[in-house]
Amino acid sequence: MASRRIAQSSINWAALAERVPPNQKTNLTAFKSMSDKYLRSVLANPETPPKMDWAFYQKNVPIAGMVEKFQKAYESLQIPYPADTLTSQVEAQEKQVLQEVAQFIKDSESRIAEYQAQIATTKSLLPFDQMTMEDFRDAYPDQALDPINRPTYWPHTPEDQKCDTPNEKAHH
């Protein structure tokens, strides 16, 4: 991969700041400060290394062959641009997260539909101040008093009921 000059930060800091929770804003600010400092230090240096005046050195250095040796070494120096080994991992992780997000959205839509059905059912009921005990029993059979099948004892709280088996306690 050829070396390319960084001209500006490719990070959309405003969009990132919107997604960061309030308790992490100081960390984001510190990270942005370090990133900006790094970018300034990169931009402070020239894009290409300075040109050497080899003729000047050949005239002024008395040792024969030394300038030619340094010139060959300087011109053959190639600093490799770091290879990108993490982009594929990040892209795979992004695909996985997008699948998880899609599954969460699908699950959320089914929960929303279920909750809307519950809301519709609740709205279709009589208001509690207009219900009779029979209406309440019809609407909420598991919560209504049933003295025949599930008798209770005063004060009718779950912890004050006599139960022969643990299963009966669960029904009260």
Give 106-154 pLDDT, tens digit per residue. Answer: 999 999 999 999 999 989 989 989 999 899 888 888 888 888 888 888 8
pLDDT score at 96: 96
Alpha carbons 147 and 152: distance in angstroms, whole number: 7
pLDDT band at residue 21 using 50, 70 and 90 as cut-offs: very high
- Residue whose token pair is 């909420």: 140
Alpha carbons 161 and 168: distance in angstroms, whole number: 10
Q: What is the mean pLDDT of the chain?
A: 85
Alpha carbons 40 and 34: distance in angstroms, whole number: 10
pLDDT band at residue 104 using 50, 70 and 90 as cut-offs: very high
169 pLDDT exceeds 60?
no
pLDDT score at 164: 62
Give 44-100 pLDDT, tens digit per residue. Answer: 888 777 788 888 988 888 888 898 999 899 888 888 878 888 999 999 999 999 999
Alpha carbons 138 and 164: distance in angstroms, whole number: 28
Residue 172 and residue 142 in contact, taking contact as beta carbons nearer than 8 Å: no
2 pLDDT exceeds 50?
no
